[in-house]
């Protein structure tokens, strides 16, 4: 059974908002694709609060919801496991977003409208409501990618992206192991270096109203350094990875 679209959504300690976010995105799927087979795949990344229990309680009310529970492995690990679930379901398109209610469903249409133009399309948080330290780290990573790889991506780690399923399968096969801390950056770099236009479409980013950010202060600097190290090491393998991706990718009609 193939799917037109799967939405991948990692979740960690979002008990205050998880049902609201699930309702928003499943309503969007039902409204936008009333006759198509679609799924919202929520990966509960070992939440310590009631996020997992709430997801299990509500899944019968939301037929498009698929819940995956895993031990805590971090946001990147949950994203990749969600991607693998979507690929295993033979999803024609895979969209990824977060569960913290900082994005709006209406912006999905901006990316969906460009789906025939590229197999890998990114949003871009033009006005970003995050802690100052996170904004600085994002800027550092942006220029690090430009320095290491000679390519400029506005928001390479954004959790608001649309990927053609067949291309995502190929990207995942080239992802380094073990899974990097921020795999979405690696996927974006590979897609860009393979010659695909990521578009960097401006989208709305809202201020977080509930929950807490899981990585703050010194830990944020630590993971930034880890990401920089992983990206620097990956540059030695990038040529072969990109070559594997450069075989023609058919554009959907």
- Look up the CATH number of the domain holding residue 234: 3.90.550.10
Using 50 as the pLDDT threshold, list the residues of the chain that sit under it.
253
Give the Cα separation of 129 and 162 in Å (integer): 22
Domain assignment of residue 250, yes or no? no
Domain assignment of residue 251, yes or no? no
Which residue range(s) make up the domain with 226? 3-245
User: Looking at the 3D structure of the chain, how many domains does it have?
Assistant: 1
Domain assignment of residue 221, yes or no? yes
Domain assignment of residue 119, yes or no? yes
Give the Cα separation of 171 and 17 in Å (integer): 31
Domain assignment of residue 236, yes or no? yes
Q: What is the reported pLDDT for 73? A: 96
Query: At a CB cut-off of 8 Å and minimum separation 6, what does 143 contact?
Result: none
Q: What is the reported pLDDT for 247? A: 66
Q: What is the reported pLDDT for 179? A: 92
Domain assignment of residue 12, yes or no? yes
Domain assignment of residue 123, yes or no? yes
Q: What is the reported pLDDT for 12? A: 97
Query: At a CB cut-off of 8 Å and minimum separation 6, what does 76 contact?
Result: 179, 180, 181, 182, 183, 184
Domain assignment of residue 192, yes or no? yes
Q: What is the reported pLDDT for 253? A: 46
**Tokens matching residue 74:** 């971090």
């Amino acid at each position: 059974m193939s799917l037109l679209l799967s939405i991948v959504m990692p979740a960690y300690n979002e008990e205050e908002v998880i049902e609201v976010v699930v309702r928003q995105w499943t309503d969007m799927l039902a409204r936008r694709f009333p006759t198509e087979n679609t799924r919202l795949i929520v990966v509960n990344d070992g939440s310590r609060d009631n996020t997992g229990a709430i997801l299990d309680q509500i899944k019968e009310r939301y037929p498009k919801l698929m819940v995956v529970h895993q031990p805590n492995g971090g946001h990147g690990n949950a994203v990749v496991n969600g991607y693998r679930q979507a690929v295993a379901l033979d999803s024609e398109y895979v969209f990824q977003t977060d569960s913290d209610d900082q994005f709006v469903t209406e912006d999905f249409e901006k990316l969906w409208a460009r789906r025939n133009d590229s197999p890998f399309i990114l949003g871009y948080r033009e006005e970003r409501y995050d802690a100052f330290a996170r904004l600085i780290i994002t800027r550092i990573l942006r220029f690090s990618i430009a320095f290491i790889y000679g390519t400029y991506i506005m928001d390479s780690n954004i959790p608001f992206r649309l990927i053609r399923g067949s291309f995502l399968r190929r990207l995942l096969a080239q992802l380094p192991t073990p899974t990097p801390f921020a795999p979405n950056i690696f996927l974006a770099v590979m897609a860009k270096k393979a010659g695909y236009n990521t578009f960097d479409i401006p989208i709305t980013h809202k201020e977080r109203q509930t929950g807490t950010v899981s990585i703050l202060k010194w830990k944020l600097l630590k993971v930034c350094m880890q990401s920089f190290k992983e990206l620097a090491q990956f540059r030695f393998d990038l040529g072969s990875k990109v070559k594997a991706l450069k075989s023609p990718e058919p554009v959907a009609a």
